[in-house]
Amino acid sequence: MKKGIVLCFILLLSLVLYACGEPELDISDSTGKGYYLNQKGKTSDNAKITLKDENGDSKKIETDNNSFTMLFPRLNSKATYTVLAEKDEKTSETEIVVPKQKKLVSYEDLQGQFNYIFETEDDLSISLPESVTSDAEVTNGFKIMSDGNNVMSLLLTYSSNDKIGITDYNDFT
């Protein structure tokens, strides 16, 4: 009888201690194939999620019903991020390594081809600027993600629900 009571006490104590542990932090293994790379995750109720990059810059990630999505830029080199889940002064953390991505084309080549069409077609009303920042909206509905001189992905938006992302060279040519 005493063994049963002790066993029940140990089981109850284990459940209580389990509930007092670190917040849950579960990250998917795959990145999506959109304009941004994305990874989804789950966390404990009321946990706060923070994403830190290799430079130590941090960004709060919004949660919805304990789920969250992190967006990562496409880079021509591997990047490591740290994800922190914080709840009741307890922290869980994990690292995410985003692999190197292939470029679509150099910005100069894209600019030359695009501006040539701009000069020869009467119906085209935009041209590309001399340079772009890493995530630039060139004109309303047209974004370019670059890593230095490398164009990593393009995003064309036709309406709020109708977008096309070009992220693979086979889609681009």
DSSP code of residue 99: P
Whether residue 124 sits in one domain with residue 68 = no
Q: What is the pTM of this model?
A: 0.74
What is the per-residue pLDDT across 130-167, written as a single tens digit (0 to 9) for each?
888 888 888 888 899 999 999 999 988 877 677 777 77
Burial group, residue 127, by CB count within 10 angstroms (0-12, 13-18, 19+): middle
CB 23 within 8 A of CB 91: yes
12 found inside a domain: no
- How far, in Å, CA of 4 to CA of 72, rounded? 52
Of 98, 114, 146, at which residue does a domain stop? 98
Q: Which two tokens stand for residue 100?
A: 């190197």
Give the residue numbers spanning the domain of 134: 105-172
Closest CA to 82 of 57, 59, 53: 53
Of 39, 70, 98, at which residue does a domain stop? 98
What is the per-residue pLDDT across 21-72, written as a single tens digit (0 to 9) for each?
677 888 887 777 788 998 999 999 989 999 999 999 999 999 999 999 999 9
Whether residue 129 sits in one domain with residue 92 = no
- How far, in Å, CA of 107 to CA of 85, rounded? 38
Of 98, 129, 154, at which residue does a domain stop? 98
